[in-house]
Structure 1
């Protein structure tokens, strides 16, 4: 049986024009919420025309270093850019979740980077700090989707844990749509660890290097 969600309500809705460094532009309806289970200031962005199609949804965890500063140590910035355009093409939601560093916070993430520079992978660095490999919980995301009436979705993700958690929370994932592989010399070890530790759907052949 799916877990019973506590109700959330829309707090505010505002239209924001999005512009990315490569010049791509799109308008988004941004929703804030009351009653989210973790009390964090998560956002839902409705992008494109929904119509009667199953919405395409991306759960994107906040990454200050990648999303804002363009760090090449991860693939978060390119995934965010890709997700916005792909959602705009078919209609759906980008959930921007305040879960920096897979839920461990910004300072801890930077501490983990120091350990990665000494040879640990992204997951081993977290555990060496006494923190979970991945501390993210998607209950608030399921609340947001339920409040917006998106209880059946196509999930834009390579991460099987996201689909599994949403399904357990009563969100029907009708399809898991893979994201692109945004590989560079700086993030290849990070991406390979995602495949080897948490079964991300990233072809290993793309990570040679």
Structure 2
């Protein structure tokens, strides 16, 4: 099955490959492979270098973050993690970054994320309690589409760029083995130290670089 751009339809029933195009970036040249997630109707993209088919492929599953990636917010480390992931894949000349739309604010959406940020600033709640105070899940993200995209690209196992063990566990539940999980540590700043501590203490993120840092920077 092919579409008007010549891209083949994905074998995985959950996603369909729609288009593939060369994408030059400041990090190097990637192939942008566009997919439609049949379950959600969301358009997704994977940035690929080299031939990703095979084992132990360097991989990042990156949740969209408008505030951190576009506006440079220092409330989180998302923009820096995205840049570091693309650099790592470019240096290895083989790998995949799956950029996951629909994951804003750990899946609660942009407006809800902004409301949660306001609760953190005004009421002193952490990132977990702010979501709960809004009657929202702590983490609503799903990785079925990401796993389908990786399978379509021929990825059989990954070295996952992530500090979040739960992300690797979710990927394995969808049939993509995690051969290793590689840290993606960003030095904390005054604005995101409390947020990072909540991720470590309440969401099980591995953030050993926070040890020994005083309560305030």
Same fold (TM over 0.5): yes
Deviations 1:11-66 (A, max 9, x none): 100111123xxxxx311100111344222111100035658662100011000000
Q: Distance in 1 between matches of 2:22 and 2:212?
A: 38
SS in 1 for 2:43: coil
Greater Rg by CA: 2
> Does structure 2 retain, via aligned residues, the 8 Å contact 1:56–1:155?
yes
- Given the alignment, which residue of 53, 65, 68 partners 2:67? 65
Q: Return closer, same or farther for 1:207/1:30 CA change in 2, 3 Å cut-off.
A: farther
1:97 aligns with 2:104: no
The Cα RMSD (Å) is: 1.7
Q: Distance in 1 between matches of 2:160 and 2:212?
A: 22
Q: Return closer, same or farther for 1:206/1:31 CA change in 2, 3 Å cut-off.
A: farther
> Does structure 2 retain, via aligned residues, the 8 Å contact 1:192–1:207?
no
- Name stretches of at least 5 consecutive residues in structure 1 with no aligned partner: 20-24
SS in 2 for 1:176: strand
Q: Return closer, same or farther for 1:81/1:168 CA change in 2, 3 Å cut-off.
A: same
Tell me the matched-pair count.
200
Q: Distance in 2 between matches of 1:49 and 1:171?
A: 17
The residue aligned with 1:200 is 205
Shift of 1:207: 4.4
1:6 aligns with 2:6: no
1:190 aligns with 2:182: no
Shift of 1:7: 4.3
Q: Return closer, same or farther for 1:198/1:33 CA change in 2, 3 Å cut-off.
A: same
> Does structure 2 retain, via aligned residues, the 8 Å contact 1:7–1:147?
no
4+ residue runs over 4 A deviation: 48-53
TM-score by length of 2: 0.87
The residue aligned with 1:176 is 181
Deviations 1:181-203 (A, max 9, x none): 33110000010000001110101
SS in 2 for 1:73: coil
- Name stretches of at least 5 consecutive residues in structure 2 with no aligned partner: 1-11
> Does structure 1 retain, via aligned residues, the 8 Å contact 2:59–2:158?
yes
Q: Distance in 1 between matches of 2:205 and 2:197?
A: 9
TM-score by length of 1: 0.90
- Given the alignment, which residue of 158, 179, 193 partners 1:153? 158
- Given the alignment, which residue of 114, 120, 145 partners 2:118? 114
The residue aligned with 1:38 is 40
Q: Distance in 2 between matches of 1:97 and 1:181?
A: 20
Q: Distance in 2 between matches of 1:73 and 1:183?
A: 10
Deviations 1:119-162 (A, max 9, x none): 00011101100000111011111111111111311110000111
